[in-house]
């Protein structure tokens, strides 16, 4: 049991460190994180974002700043912090996932299949706020426990679980008793 | 212009009913404060908005209606009030292009409904006299906006804010809350349900309506003034 936990922790640390092993990976990680943050923030008020951006993409910065302020004022610093952490972790997960696909030869169906579910699951959990708004559940997020912070936390935990399973994509790991590779 | 406005003006998928004025008989009242007129009118616009009970700012014969749904606890509404709203009043309401209709859209918490009911009580109290005092109260509440559910929008605190607004009788407002609160709350619930028919799912939200041509458009969120300016011109000329 302890060995399995230790293995997960060491794989998480390895996956977490991988994006910072070269300048290119670091830049890619922050670029992914920035795009993820923008998408998450814009999805907090999708109709507003759509109206602004379909008129002029130049409104992108204004929309992000306005919705960041709105998120902070309406659901607080903790929620905004969770979104930022989620965006950074997604950047790490994407860079690590790409590394895994590249090191596996680029055509590994198994590699892809292990990458996509984690990202999709965590993405759905995190963008629930935007989806709820889009589907018409007005104020649904404010009715969720802790203003939807549990939903955001669930997305974060899924990402952490995903990274702790992935490890350093440059290394093959021995399958553990818990099913990890 | 806006995705929403373009769709509505063009009638693409969102077609509102024909113009219909149910009643023109109610007594209009107006007053002057900072040169902004307010009116009370009981009629249903061609878009199906019942004006009764809602403060109407601007000239009654202004060609464009702007229906404004807001929640006093919504920070994005406060942003609109601070940024675009004063320019709209200055450049479109006072010159007589727009009449602005305030509609409560309390959805964030119970305190939102408390503030919404008090809003209607304040309007009931001032509409027969110095109706423009409504805007003073409205602005004072947005200025006092605090964190959601922190207690700033409790009835007690809102009455305290009310007492500090010149020309608004806080005692009369409190009496209104006690004697008409339930009935007003039901009317607000109806407004909220009606808003969903226009695809409104958050605040602030606006429907711009040209009563003569029966064309309408929608703006959602605290968008920059230029977007409102452009939308008003587009709907006016539709």
Task: Give dist(CA A142, CA B238) in Å, integer.
Answer: 38
Q: Chain A: nearest CA to B167, how far in angstroms?
A: 31
Mean predicted confidence (pLDDT) in B87-92: 96
Pairing verdict, β B32-33 and B205-210: unpaired
More confident residue, B167 or B24: B167
Q: Chain B: nearest CA to A138, how far in angstroms?
A: 5
At residue A140, the pLDDT reads: 56
Structure confidence by residue, pLDDT tens digits, A107-131: 555 556 666 666 665 565 555 544 5
pLDDT tops 80 at residue A133:
no
DSSP letter string over A129-172?
HHHHHHHT-TTHHHHSGGGGHHHHHHHHHHHHHHHHHH--TTS-
* Residues of chain A found within 8 Å of residue B147, distances taken between Cβ atoms: 73, 76
Are B201 and A52 an interchain contact pair (Cβ–Cβ within 8 Å)?
Answer: no
Q: How many CB pairs under 8 A join A and B?
A: 67
Mean predicted confidence (pLDDT) in B9-16: 32
Helices B3-10, B225-236: crossing angle, 10 deg rounding = 10
Hey, which of A164-173, B19-28, B152-161 has the most confident mean pLDDT? B152-161
More confident residue, A17 or A135: A17
Q: Chain B: nearest CA to A141, how far in angstroms?
A: 9
Are B219 and A45 an interchain contact pair (Cβ–Cβ within 8 Å)?
Answer: no
Are B223 and A74 an interchain contact pair (Cβ–Cβ within 8 Å)?
Answer: no
| Domains with residue ranges and CATH for chain B | 3-236 (3.40.30.10)
Bond before B204 cis per omega within 30 degrees: yes
At residue B45, the pLDDT reads: 92
Choose the closest CB to B202 out of A69, A76, A138: A138
Are B196 and A52 an interchain contact pair (Cβ–Cβ within 8 Å)?
Answer: no
User: Quick one: closest CA in B to A135, which residue?
Assistant: B201
pLDDT level of residue B144 (50, 70, 90 thresholds): very high
More confident residue, B209 or B147: B209
At residue B19, the pLDDT reads: 29
For residue A77, give the 3-state DSSP assignment: helix
Are B76 and A133 an interchain contact pair (Cβ–Cβ within 8 Å)?
Answer: no
Q: Is B4 on the interface with A (CB under 8 A)?
A: yes
Mean predicted confidence (pLDDT) in B211-215: 94
pLDDT tops 70 at residue A180:
no
Structure confidence by residue, pLDDT tens digits, B157-196: 999 999 999 999 999 999 999 999 999 999 999 999 999 8
Tell me, what's the ipTM? 0.81
At residue B109, the pLDDT reads: 87
Lowest-pLDDT choice from A28-32, A102-106, B149-153: A102-106
Q: Is B196 on the interface with A (CB under 8 A)?
A: yes
Residue A149: how many other CB atoms lie within 10 Å: 18
B154: exposed, middle or buried (Cβ count in 10 Å: 0-12, 13-18, 19+): middle
pLDDT level of residue B20 (50, 70, 90 thresholds): very low
């Amino acid at each position: 049991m302890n060995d399995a936990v230790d293995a997960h922790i060491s794989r998480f640390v390895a996956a977490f460190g991988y994006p910072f092993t070269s300048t290119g990976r670091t830049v890619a990680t922050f670029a992914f994180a920035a795009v993820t943050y923008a998408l998450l923030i814009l999805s907090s008020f999708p109709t507003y974002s759509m109206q602004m951006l379909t008129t002029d993409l130049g409104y992108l910065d204004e929309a992000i700043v306005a919705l960041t302020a709105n998120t902070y004022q309406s659901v607080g610093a903790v929620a905004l912090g969770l979104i930022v952490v989620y965006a950074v972790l997604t950047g790490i997960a994407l860079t690590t996932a790409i590394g895994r696909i590249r090191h596996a030869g680029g055509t590994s169906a198994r590699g892809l299949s292990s990458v996509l579910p984690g990202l999709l699951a965590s993405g759905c959990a995190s963008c629930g706020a935007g989806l709820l708004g889009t589907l018409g559940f007005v104020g649904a997020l404010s009715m969720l426990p802790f203003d939807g912070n549990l939903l955001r936390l669930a997305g974060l935990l899924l990402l952490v679980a995903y990274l702790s399973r992935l490890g350093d994509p440059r290394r093959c790991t021995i399958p553990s008793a818990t099913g990890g590779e | 212009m806006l995705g929403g406005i373009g769709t509505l003006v063009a009638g693409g998928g969102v077609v509102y009913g024909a113009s219909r004025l149910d009643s023109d008989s109610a007594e209009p009242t107006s007053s002057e404060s900072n040169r902004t007129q307010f009116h009370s009118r009981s009629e249903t616009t061609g878009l199906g908005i019942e004006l009764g009970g809602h403060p109407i700012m601007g000239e009654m014969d202004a060609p464009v209606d702007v229906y404004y749904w807001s929640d006093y606890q919504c920070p994005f509404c406060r942003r609109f009030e601070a940024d675009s709203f004063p320019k709209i009043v200055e450049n479109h309401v006072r010159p007589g292009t727009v009449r602005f209709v305030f509609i409560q859209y309390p959805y964030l918490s119970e305190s939102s409904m408390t503030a919404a009911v008090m809003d209607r009580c304040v309007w009931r109290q001032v509409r027969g006299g110095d109706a423009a005092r409504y805007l003073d109260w409205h602005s004072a509440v947005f200025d006092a906006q605090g964190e959601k559910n922190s207690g700033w929008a409790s009835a007690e605190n809102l009455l305290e804010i009310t007492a500090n607004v010149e020309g608004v009788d806080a005692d009369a407002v409190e009496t209104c809350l006690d004697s008409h609160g339930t009935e007003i709350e039901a009317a607000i619930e109806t407004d909220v349900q009606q808003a969903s028919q226009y695809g409104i799912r958050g605040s602030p939200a606006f429907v711009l309506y040209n009563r003569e041509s029966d064309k309408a458009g929608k703006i959602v969120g605290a968008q920059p003034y230029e977007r409102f300016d452009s939308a008003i011109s587009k709907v006016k000329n539709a």
